[in-house]
Amino acid sequence: MATIPPLDFCGVLVESKKIVNAHSRHFLALSVLFLLPLTFSLIFFSTVRHAIAEPGRNSAQTLLRYSPEHRLFLKTTGLSMIYALTILTLSICAAGTITYSVYHGFFGRPVKFASAIKSLSNSFLRLFVTFICSQIIVLAISFAVGVIVFLVIKGIDSLGFQISPSSPYIFAAYAIGLVALGSGLFYLQVNWALASVVVVVESSWGLEPLRRSTYLVKGMRGIAASLLLFFGLVLGITVWTNWGFAVAPGGLRDWIFVALTVISSALIMMCVLHSVAANTVLYMYCKALHGELAGEIAEEFAREYVSLPFDEEKIPHIVHVAQP
């Protein structure tokens, strides 16, 4: 008799891992198509930018020496813009296709590569608009915090305290502002953890997925925060380690960097894959918590399925949440 994973951090990870393993070749194909280029762009961006900034450091960088010094800023800015667009495009494609596949795999539906790619025609633009809306809110909050810190500093100055760049009052104001901004943005990210899943599954866009995610994540914010911290920490440490080796001098740096890149690429790819899958499973658990999943499960059982011997893991999941 199959056991249902508990509704906690480990339970979400176990359930998402089970779905990914049940369709391993499908998710491997999606990972190679979208996550592998994303991984390499994350790892090699610092190397390429460093090569442009200091073209004389390495003989392999001589191809970049044709530009005069006054064009260095334009080259770096152009590279950063191309990098940002590449990361955004690959991230949206990966999030859309993986979420679509995990959602259908959760119910035991057939998961096909062509269908997952085709789903981007409906979700790509919606995900892009939703991302832009979220960033506008983030920028507005950051600007508001900056204005408040500026007004506080001006207020301290008007009270007759001596203000200088090294003043402890300036440091305290900046520190409080950064802590407040970081806490606020983290809280927003936790509330918006399910926004991309809402876009793909419910075909909404703009501010509506952000509002819907905030509603669904109530009661599960601890799990959402744990997932965000866990995958963010793994991804951040891995990318930072590669960037450090990319610019570090030393005779053994080259072959160590190559070996580390191969290991890190696989780690980042699996991290992003399981992060998106875990958020999709969390979305289903949140819907169950709010009593919205019963209808979908009843609809799945109303359909006719043909069970094959090798499809034992590809079965619809029943989620029951008992509120205390």
Q: How far apart are CA 280 and CA 290, in angstroms?
A: 16
Per-domain residue ranges of the chain: 9-297
pLDDT in tens, 32-58: 999 988 887 777 665 555 555 555 444
pLDDT in tens, 193-252: 999 999 999 989 989 999 999 999 998 999 999 999 999 998 888 877 766 655 555 544
Residue 188's pLDDT is: 94
312 pLDDT above the threshold of 50 = no
Q: In this structure, which long-range contacts are made by residues 45-49, counting pairs with CB atoms below 8 Å and at least 24 apart in sequence?
A: 45/83, 46/242, 46/243, 46/246, 46/247, 47/243, 47/246, 47/247, 48/79, 49/76, 49/79, 49/80
pLDDT in tens, 251-307: 445 677 677 777 878 888 899 999 999 999 999 999 988 887 766 665 555 554 444
Residue 146's pLDDT is: 87
Average of per-residue pLDDT values in the chain: 78
Residue 50's pLDDT is: 52
